[in-house]
Amino acid sequence: MFYIDYVHILYNSLNSYRMSVSSLQKATLEKREVRKLQVIGGSTYIISLPKKWVTEIGLKKGSTLSIIKQEDGSFLLTPEELEKPKKAAEATIEVSPEDDPQSIIRKIVSTYLVGYNVIFIRTKDQRLTSTQRNTIKNFTRRMLVGTEIIADSPTELILKVLISYAELSVQSALRRMCIITASMHEDAVTALKTLDKELARDVVAMDDEVDRFGLYTIRQLKAAVQNENIIKEIGLTTGRDCLGYRLIAKAIERTADHAVEIAKNVFVLKKPLDAKILKKIDSIGKSAISVFNKAIESLFERDFQLANETVQKAKQVALLEKEVVASVLRRASMEEIGNLRLIIESIRRTAEYASDIAEIVLNMTVENAIKSSF
């Protein structure tokens, strides 16, 4: 009985969907106008626009339109007035002295990521608490690329994003994230070998820089999804890449997090590790970061073959992990084994995230490796 009802509901839903699609197609056809391409002067091609469209948009004789060729061969016509920069989008966050500073930060991050360029943090009639004010200021300076505090009063802070899309592209931000992340992993393993706790602290501190560029990248990609005209401004070639770059940014952030985990374990160790264990950890660490660097190279070079090779090399790191773990179990003390297993796992995860990045690159560049039948 349930199965019959379910099929009936599914059938009705399918009919509704078909009706919706049909209505959409009908509406699209009603808006469609067909015009023939004409030639004047023997070398200039022109096409006329429907008078109704021109009137609705407010165009007149002499109005300027930009023409952008799309990837599918179509053309996008945009009146010059629509291309002029609009007033910076503003958002207001109202707070009270009782609000948790971290809750305010989450609201700021959300407005920043959505694309607001001016963010007001205001109280109605009371002062911002010292904790709230300092937390907001420190977070803005540490984590929001291109954002400055342009006003500071007892009841209000105003944040403004001053950087433009062209000044720092998505690829430039990602490249910066990758350089920092690779350096973090190398320093974390070095700190482990020498028990250099100061270097380990530096690794932990550098994570903020990766997250900072990660937030900026997400902001840029969200803007590109909402307005395809800025895709090229942020350094991309097609809107299809936006999701891929978003996933890659997340993988890089998680890779940096694992570098932090390696560094944190340095604080726990009380004495230098066995030389043979260190040698094996150093070897697998270099292999993992090499795979990571190759994955990033395949991204920026848009190299399908290199990405494919990177996926294969990432699997070899998993095999090395078993060998290193076996060595740890033979040579390490009981109190060291737990920490070392976590360190080795983080190194393996670095290679796995590199493999994830390479697989995304495969999806983004597959057209370079196949012959289209269209």
> In this structure, are residues 234 and 170 in contact, taking their beta carbons and an 8 Å threshold?
yes
Query: The domain spanning residue 111 has which CATH number?
Result: 3.30.110.20
Instruction: Please report, for residues 52, 178, 218, 231, 248, the alpha-carbon distance to residue 244 in angstroms, rounded to integers and kept in the order given.
Output: 40, 16, 11, 14, 6
Does one domain contain both 232 and 362?
A: yes
Give residue 71's pLDDT.
62
pLDDT in tens, 226-247: 777 778 778 777 778 888 999 9
The pLDDT of 154-164, averaged and rounded, is: 92
Does any domain span residue 189?
yes
Q: Is 114 left (phi over 0), alpha (psi -120 to 50) or beta?
A: alpha
Q: Give dist(CA 182, CA 194) in Å, integer.
A: 19
Judgement on whether residues 196 and 233 belong to the same structural domain of the protein: yes
The phi and psi torsions of 39 (rounded to 5 degrees) equal -120, 130
Q: Are residues 250 and 313 in the same domain?
A: yes
Is residue 7 one of the residues assigned to a domain?
no
Which range marks the domain in which residue 94 is found? Answer: 90-161
Claim to verify: residue 286 and residue 350 sit in the same structural domain: yes
How many residues would you count in the chain? 374
**CA-to-CA distance for 182 and 289, rounded, in angstroms?**
6
State the DSSP string of 222-275. HHHHH-GGGTTTTT-S-TTHHHHHHHHHHHHHHHHHHHHHHHHHHHH--SPPPH
User: Are 274 and 255 within one domain?
Assistant: yes
| DSSP-assigned letters across all residues of 284-353 | HHHHHHHHHHHHHHHHHHT-HHHHHHHHHHHHHHHHHHHHHHHHHHHHS-HHHHHHHHHHHHHHHHHHHH
| pLDDT above 70 (res 5) | no
Question: How many CB atoms sit inside 10 A of residue 202's CB?
Answer: 16
- To which H or E segment does residue 371 belong? none
Compare 211 and 329 and report the one with higher pLDDT: 211
Give the pLDDT score at 81. Answer: 62
Residue type present at position 264: K
Q: What's the one-letter identity of residue 287?
A: S
- Per mean pLDDT, which range of 8-12, 147-151, 283-287 is the poorest? 8-12
Q: Enumerate the β-bridge partners of residue 148.
A: 160
236 and 324 both lie in a single domain: yes
Q: Are 368 and 302 in contact (CB under 8 A)?
A: yes
Give residue-wise pLDDT tens across range 175-185. Answer: 999 999 999 99
Of 15-29, 247-261, 307-321, the one with minimum mean pLDDT is 15-29
In a domain, 63, yes or no: yes
- Is it the case that residue 311 has pLDDT exceeding 60? yes
Give me the mean pLDDT over the 242-260 stretch. 95
> Do residue 54 and residue 119 come from a single domain?
no
| 292 lies in some domain | yes
Domains identified in the chain, total number? 3
CATH number at residue 302: 1.20.58.220
Residues 300 and 192 occupy one common structural domain: yes
Nearest to 246 by CA among 261, 233, 262, 234: 234
**Confidence grade of residue 193 (pLDDT, cut at 50, 70, 90):** very high
Residue 10 has pLDDT above 70, yes or no: no
Question: Higher confidence at residue 321 or residue 87?
Answer: 321
The secondary structure element, H or E, covering residue 42 is none
| 301 falls within a domain | yes
Over range 34-50, report the average pLDDT. Answer: 78
Confidence of residue 30 (pLDDT cuts 50, 70, 90): low
Residues near 352 by beta carbon (within 8 Å), at least 6 away in sequence: 314, 318
Residue 208's pLDDT is 95
Has residue 184 been placed in a domain?
yes
Binned at pLDDT 50, 70 and 90, residue 79 comes out as confident
Q: Does a structural domain hold residue 44?
A: no
Cβ atoms 161, 250 nearer than 8 A: no
